[in-house]
């Protein structure tokens, strides 16, 4: 992670329910909740990369009676965020959810948790260079089980990379199910279904490096 951004302080905007960050969070959570409805009552697995304090997934699980069927791994490099996520998990009694305080930009961090049924790549693509965005998308076939769902986020500031991101996912066997791009803001949330077969995890690979 880059030393330029305090990722613990960055989460403070979530405390304002009217903030655009909170609005984006609710979009992601709605898709997670809908997916859990769709997959019920099956046991499912989730992998969240650069998970922060895990609230996108954990707040959804907190409101559901079937949270026990979810096995999840949250990857987060900032120990303060990882600690808050671990405390939240403990409060909810989610024995099949774990936090790994690890650099999600390295493929080794994903060992033993992929391929997963739901993959969250939120808060990544706006903080890495274009080549790393493409590299992460091309590597996502290692993260996703067949018929899994992948959710990603990215701003649409000029030059807007989201058209290329959507095309790159299509090139790698993903079918777009939703793309949320509100007129009043520059955030976007993409939702894709993986229609291919997972590829083996390649250990020792650098996927991305935060530039902020």
CATH number at residue 87: 3.40.50.150
pLDDT band at 15 (very low <50, low <70, confident <90, very high): confident
> What's the mean pLDDT in 58-62?
98
d(CA 61, CA 92): 9
- How many residues would you count in the chain? 212
Output the six-digit token pair for 173: 């066997």
Range of the structural domain that residue 153 is part of:
7-194
Output the six-digit token pair for 1: 């992670």
All residues at 6 or more sequence positions from 59 whose CB lies less than 8 Å from its CB, including other chains: 29
81, 8 Cβ separation under 8 angstroms:
yes
Question: Which run of H or of E encompasses 176?
Answer: strand 174-180
Looking at the domain assignment, is residue 199 inside a domain?
no
User: Of 119, 137, 113, nearest to 208 (Cα)?
Assistant: 137
Looking at the domain assignment, is residue 210 inside a domain?
no
Count up the domains in the chain and report the number: 1
pLDDT band at 17 (very low <50, low <70, confident <90, very high): confident
> What's the mean pLDDT in 160-167?
98
119, 139 Cβ separation under 8 angstroms:
no
Q: How many CB atoms within 10 Å of residue 189?
A: 21
d(CA 146, CA 194): 6
Q: How many CB atoms within 10 Å of residue 38?
A: 10
Start-to-end Cα distance in the chain: 8
pLDDT tens readout for residues 119-132: 999 999 999 999 99
For CA atoms 87, 121, 123, 153, give the dihedral sign: negative
Place of tokens 């650099």: 103
**Which of 14-18, 121-125, 201-205 has the least mean pLDDT?**
14-18
Q: Is the pLDDT of residue 117 over 60?
A: yes
Looking at the domain assignment, is residue 209 inside a domain?
no
Its pTM stands at 0.94
pLDDT band at 6 (very low <50, low <70, confident <90, very high): low
> What's the mean pLDDT in 147-152?
98
pLDDT at 2: 44
Category of 193 on φ-ψ map: left (φ > 0), alpha (ψ -120 to 50) or beta: beta
Looking at the domain assignment, is residue 157 inside a domain?
yes
Looking at the domain assignment, is residue 140 inside a domain?
yes
Looking at the domain assignment, is residue 91 inside a domain?
yes
């Amino acid at each position: 992670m880059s030393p330029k951004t305090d990722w613990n302080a960055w989460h403070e905007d979530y405390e304002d329910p009217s903030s655009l960050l909170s609005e984006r969070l609710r979009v992601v959570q709605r898709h997670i909740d809908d997916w859990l409805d769709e997959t019920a009552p099956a046991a499912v697995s989730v992998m969240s990369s650069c998970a922060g304090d895990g609230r996108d997934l954990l707040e959804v699980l907190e409101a559901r009676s079937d949270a026990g069927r979810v096995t999840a791994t949250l990857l987060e490099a900032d120990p303060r965020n990882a600690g808050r996520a671990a405390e939240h998990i403990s409060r909810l009694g989610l024995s099949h959810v774990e936090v790994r305080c690890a650099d999600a930009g390295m493929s080794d961090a994903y060992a033993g948790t992929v391929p997963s049924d739901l993959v969250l790549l939120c808060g990544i693509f706006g903080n890495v260079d274009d080549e790393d965005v493409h590299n992460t998308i091309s590597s996502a076939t290692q993260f996703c089980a067949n018929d899994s769902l992948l959710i990603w986020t990215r701003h649409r500031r000029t030059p807007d990379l989201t058209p290329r991101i959507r095309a790159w996912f299509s090139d790698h066997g993903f079918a777009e199910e939703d793309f949320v791009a509100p007129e009043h803001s520059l955030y976007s949330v993409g939702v894709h279904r993986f229609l291919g077969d997972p590829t083996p995890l390649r250990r020792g690979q650098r996927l991305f490096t935060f530039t902020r």
